[in-house]
Copies of this chain bind each other. A is one copy, B any other.
Amino acid sequence: MRHFEYFSQEEVQRVHEASLKVLEETGLDFGYEPAVAVLREAGCRVEGKRVFFPPKLVEEMIAKAPAEFTLYGRNPDKNVVIGGDNIAYIPCYGSPIVTDLDRGRRESIFEDYKNFVKLSYASKVLDITGGMMAEPGDLPNDRRNAEMMYASMKYSDKPFMGGATNGAAAKETIEMASLVFGGEQELAKKPRFISILCSLTPLSYDESMLGAIMEYARAGMPQLISSLSIAGATAPVTMEGTLVVQNAEILAGIVLTQIIRPGTPVVYSGSSSNAAMRYGTLSIGSPENAVNVAATAQMARFYSLPCRGGGTLTDSKSPDAQAGLESMMSHLMATVAGVNFVLHSAGILEGYLVSSYEKFIIDDEICGMCKRIKKGEQITAENLAIDVIDQVGPGGEYLTNAHTFRNFRQSFYQPEMESRENYDTWKKNGSLTYDQVANRKWKEILEKYVEPSLPEESEKALQDYIADKYGR
Residues of A within 8 A of B (CB): 1-2, 4-8, 11, 14-15, 18, 21-22, 25-29, 50, 105, 200, 202-204, 231-241, 244-245, 274-281, 283, 285-288, 290-291, 295, 315-329, 332-333, 336, 350, 353, 359, 362, 365-366, 369-370, 372-373, 376-380, 382-386, 388-390, 392-399, 401, 403-404, 407-408, 411-413, 415, 418-423, 426-427, 431, 433-435, 438
Contact = CB atoms under 8 A, between A and B. Distances in A.
Q: In terms of DSSP, what is the predominant structure of the interface of chain A?
A: mixed
A320 B426 CA distance: 14
Report the copy number of this chain in the oligomer.
2
Contacts of A350: 422-423
Contacts of A419: 315-317, 322
Contact of A434 (B320, B370, B404): B320
A324 B332 contact: no
Given A321-B434, A332-B329, A412-B232, A423 B385 contact: no
Q: 3 closest Cβ contacts across the A-B interface? A: A324-B324, A241-B385, A321-B324
B395 A203 contact: yes
B22 A412 contact: no
21 contacts: A2-B8, A6-B376, A28-B394, A29-B395, A203-B395, A232-B404, A235-B389, A236-B388, A236-B404, A239-B377, A241-B403, A280-B399, A281-B422, A286-B369, A287-B369, A317-B427, A320-B320, A322-B434, A324-B324, A325-B328, A325-B369
A418 B283 CA distance: 10
Contacts of A397: 233-234
Contacts of A277: 408, 412
Of A4, A288, A359, A426, chain B has the most CB atoms within 10 Å of the CB of A4
Contacts of A275: 399
A288 B412 contact: yes
Given A286-B413, A395-B29, A434-B316, A238 B385 contact: yes
Contact of A245 (B336, B377, B389): B389
B316 A398 contact: no
Nearest to A285: B418
A162 to B, nearest CB: 27
Contacts of A203: 389, 393-395
B379 A7 contact: yes
Contacts of A427: 317
Nearest to A240: B383
Given A202-B394, A435-B321, A404 B329 contact: no
Contact of A384 (B240, B295, B404): B240
Of A287, A366, A399, A423, chain B has the most CB atoms within 10 Å of the CB of A287
Contacts of A244: 384-386, 389
